[in-house]
Structure 1
Amino acid sequence: MTTAAKTATTAWGFRTRFRRGAFGWKGTQLAIGRINEALTEIRAVARHDTACAAEGAVLLLEKLSPALCQIDSSSGALGNATYAAVQELAPLISHAPVSTKVRQQWLDRLFEAIQEDDPPYIESLGDHWGDLCATKELASAWADQLLPTLKNVLRERKRGTYAFFSGTTLCYSALFKAERHDQLLELLEMDPHPIWPYLVWGAKALATRGQIDQAIAYLRERAGSTTSETSIARFAEEELLKAGRRAEAFNQYALLANQANTHIATFRAVAKKYPELAKDKLLNHLIASTPGEPGKWFATTKTLKLFEQATRLAWASPCDPKTLNRAARDHLKMQPDFAMQCALASLHWMSMGHGYELTGMDVQDAHRMAIEAASLTQQNEQAHATIAQVFTPDRPMSVWMKRSLGLVP
């Protein structure tokens, strides 16, 4: 049975849920749920029939923008969901074992969907166009199809006229897949102000030739001030890792390329790419890369159970007292010495005026846990000496803390 015949017999449940304008202005969460349901359905089919699943993927991508066009997408959540869907579905389509005729039909349908993509929910599909073609021959044919329009647009841009072509990224991706790298670079030279999604294809072409340093320099020279250093770092790290230049990738780009919302997430991202590095050495490198702020790595070090190092960080620079209190509470029984140091450090930084939205309860918790941990470790004298220093008059918050503990009226 052909792929088309199989698809005709596949009753895709998501088909009716993604009618044009199916979701209203406030339909973000419902739409995200429907997208996840559709992906689950396609994954289930992919376990036993990848070609049929790929046809379902094409169908879903066709239906996304028309179905979502009326939703308020200002929160960004829907954009993230559709982007993730494209990243998952594109490889499924690329690797599907189908004939050139079927693949060409898919590409025609997807190209039409990209032309009608408003708002642009599937525009990132263009980055995968060369892979979607699967072969150099088909990619080259698509490049030839797209080139006349792209050249006209670039000529207009060179004259200073605003011009846009939704097939630009598709053309660059197809040229790259077809290994027509010189032509790709020539086109980019025609563009007076290429944006990052276009320019990166030129850098990829150079890197593919083994000219990685030139590729990085190419991006730095042409990207302009509007391109973030993070984007360049991610490209540079990826290409250096592919070339086996791991030390350079790590020393020059790893921290910036893997920057996450939290320090522990950053550590995990870097550790995943560089498993050859011991976690304590990796952590030392990351701490050294943020001079003057070692305390911000306390939670990461504690999570990794590097308690001696975490203790040093707790005292090295301002550390959030609430974070220190939680660490003291969580480790009071199993690591009482560490818990005592956390509680004392919490009192210390509170007395110096550090911390946000602190209350008397925070002071009481830190004081209680310090005394309790000191008793468990027979370090009462040391704990009381440190607490006495916390309450000296030269500390900006010492009076407030003493009042919180009922030590002064």
Structure 2
Amino acid sequence: MAKTPAHKWAFKPGMRAGVYSWKSSAKAIDRLKSASSEIRAVARVDPVTAAEGVIALAQRIWPAFEHIDTSSGALGNAVRRTLEELLPVLISAPSDEKTRAKWLEQLREAIEDDGVDYLAPIAHSFGQIAAYPALMNLHADRDLDMIEAAWSDHERFIHVATASLTLSCLLEAGRHDELLALLARKKTHLWFDERFGAEALLRQGLEDEALAYAEGLLQGDRRPWGHAEIAQFCERILVGQGRDDEAYRRFGLPSVSGNTYLAMWRDLVKRYPDLDARQILRDLMESHGSQGKWFAAAKTAKYLDIALDCAAQPDAAPATLIRAARDFAIKEPAFAAQVGLHAISHLLAGRGYEPSPFDIDEAVGHVMAASARIGQEDQVLRELKRLAANSAVDVRMSGRLQSCIADLEKSLG
């Protein structure tokens, strides 16, 4: 029977050793996205070939990216996201034990050669990738003595590249006591490894012990590495026990994640759908501070009264308020007028990032357009005069506002 030709992966030429230079982070990230899309497309029709594609990508990541500047963290995050996205392809692929044994050897070698732990997501899931108990135990035992010796030496730190994959295999093989005993030998306890110990306790039904084990890493004055993940692990246990309110207060609020304040609010609302979304926003503002910076979140969530409270705070960004005054001038004119007035007040106080006197013109224009829709032009003009009469930190802004008022008085007769 003729041998089936190997699949020709389009991503391989762009993932050659040394192909990227110091400033090629953005290009490398794009290449990862393309590779992930290609592998996931193949997975829909040929999951085994797709799994081999994941392995081929993993083998090439360090050699290809070795010379790239990773100081911004963008590339490392992109690699992690890509591998986490592709792990299910690798874990669920239908393969016999011999094939999977070959895959594990290839991945193990790539992990050992990895210079910056790019392949940590694969190492952390190695036991799941192994799939077969015999393979889990094989890879759990291979470096066990070496890791035990290294971690028992408290006089110096010895990094073992295969430590995470060994812990993962011990966990998936159900060798919980050995796993916990191994972790106990370490001098420094970080979530990077301790997650396996916490999960081992949880899988034995020792929920309170697992909670105490993980929460112990949160003690101390400094925020530990993996703080959010630890808090979410603890939160998951309490939620599972029906202690939702305690989970929310102790771990949900502190571990909330998101690149924006709005994303943080949405994250908690999604995790706690039975709680009042408005109160969640209030709780976030109280626990995380910087009330003015929550304006966009409150506005988008349609809690306009809260948004107005935020707009009045000194740390509210005038540019953000001006855009809101523009966007709401028609649908919520009273709100828009008040927001615009707050923006003008902040500009007069010298606040905002690189403000320009022309910002006053724009803010006044939106305020007057909104006030015209609710018949309050005279009241708003009086408020503008009041603001102009008060001593302003930024004389340029004050002068510009005076000019705008003079023009308004002419136009209004």
Whether the 8 Å contact between 1:188 and 1:199 is mirrored in structure 2 is yes
How many angstroms does 1:105 deviate by?
Answer: 0.9
Q: How does 1:283-294 map to 2 (within 5 A)?
A: 283-290=281-288, 293-294=290-291
Distance 2:124 2:45 in 1: 28
Aligned to 1:261: 259
Aligned to 1:102: 99
Q: How does 1:243-322 map to 2 (within 5 A)?
A: 243-290=241-288, 293-315=290-312, 318-322=315-319
| Alpha-carbon distance change, 350 to 20 in structure 1, aligned in 2, over 3 angstroms | closer
Aligned to 2:340: 343
Pairing partner for 2:126 from 105, 108, 129: 129
Whether the 8 Å contact between 1:329 and 1:339 is mirrored in structure 2 is yes
Whether the 8 Å contact between 1:391 and 1:398 is mirrored in structure 2 is no
Whether the 8 Å contact between 1:390 and 1:398 is mirrored in structure 2 is no
TM-score by length of 2: 0.88
Comparing 381-390 and 37-46, the one that deviates more: 381-390
Whether the 8 Å contact between 2:62 and 2:114 is mirrored in structure 1 is yes
How many angstroms does 1:99 deviate by?
Answer: 0.8
Query: In the alignment, is residue 59 of structure 1 matched against residue 41 of structure 2?
Result: no
Query: In the alignment, is residue 205 of structure 1 matched against residue 200 of structure 2?
Result: yes
Aligned to 1:403: 399
How many angstroms does 1:290 deviate by?
Answer: 3.7
Whether the 8 Å contact between 2:328 and 2:336 is mirrored in structure 1 is yes
SS in 2 for 1:289: helix
How many angstroms does 1:398 deviate by?
Answer: 7.2
Aligned to 2:386: 389
Distance 1:19 1:63 in 2: 7
Distance 1:26 1:75 in 2: 11
Task: Calculate percent identity across the aligned residue pairs.
Answer: 34
Comparing 246-255 and 308-317, the one that deviates more: 308-317
How many angstroms does 1:324 deviate by?
Answer: 0.9
The amino acid that maps onto 1:248 is E
How many angstroms does 1:213 deviate by?
Answer: 4.0
1:43-102 Cα shifts (integer Å, max 9, x gaps):
111011111211111121112212222333333332222222221222211111111111
Comparing 101-110 and 348-357, the one that deviates more: 348-357
Query: In the alignment, is residue 176 of structure 1 matched against residue 171 of structure 2?
Result: yes
| Alpha-carbon distance change, 16 to 400 in structure 1, aligned in 2, over 3 angstroms | closer
Distance 1:17 1:318 in 2: 46
Q: Structure 2: which 5+ runs fail to align? A: 407-413
Aligned to 2:410: none
TM-score by length of 1: 0.89
Whether the 8 Å contact between 1:117 and 1:123 is mirrored in structure 2 is no
The amino acid that maps onto 2:331 is M
The amino acid that maps onto 1:267 is W
Comparing 276-285 and 257-266, the one that deviates more: 276-285
Distance 1:298 1:350 in 2: 17
Comparing 329-338 and 129-138, the one that deviates more: 129-138
Query: In the alignment, is residue 195 of structure 1 matched against residue 193 of structure 2?
Result: no
Distance 2:217 2:294 in 1: 35
| Alpha-carbon distance change, 386 to 37 in structure 1, aligned in 2, over 3 angstroms | same
How many angstroms does 1:38 deviate by?
Answer: 1.8
Distance 1:74 1:316 in 2: 35
The amino acid that maps onto 1:288 is E
The amino acid that maps onto 2:194 is L
Aligned to 1:32: 29
How many angstroms does 1:318 deviate by?
Answer: 4.3
SS in 2 for 1:405: helix
How many angstroms does 1:283 deviate by?
Answer: 1.8
Aligned to 2:74: 77
Pairing partner for 1:218 from 213, 220, 225: 213
Distance 1:22 1:318 in 2: 45
The amino acid that maps onto 2:45 is H
Pairing partner for 2:86 from 89, 107, 119: 89
Whether the 8 Å contact between 1:216 and 1:232 is mirrored in structure 2 is no
Pairing partner for 1:378 from 337, 362, 375: 375
Distance 1:52 1:187 in 2: 36
Tell me the C-alpha RMSD between the 2 structures.
2.7
How many angstroms does 1:243 deviate by?
Answer: 4.5
Comparing 18-27 and 167-176, the one that deviates more: 18-27
Distance 1:220 1:281 in 2: 26
Q: Structure 1: which 5+ runs fail to align? A: none
Aligned to 1:111: 108
What count of residue pairs does the alignment treat as equivalent?
402
Aligned to 1:48: 45
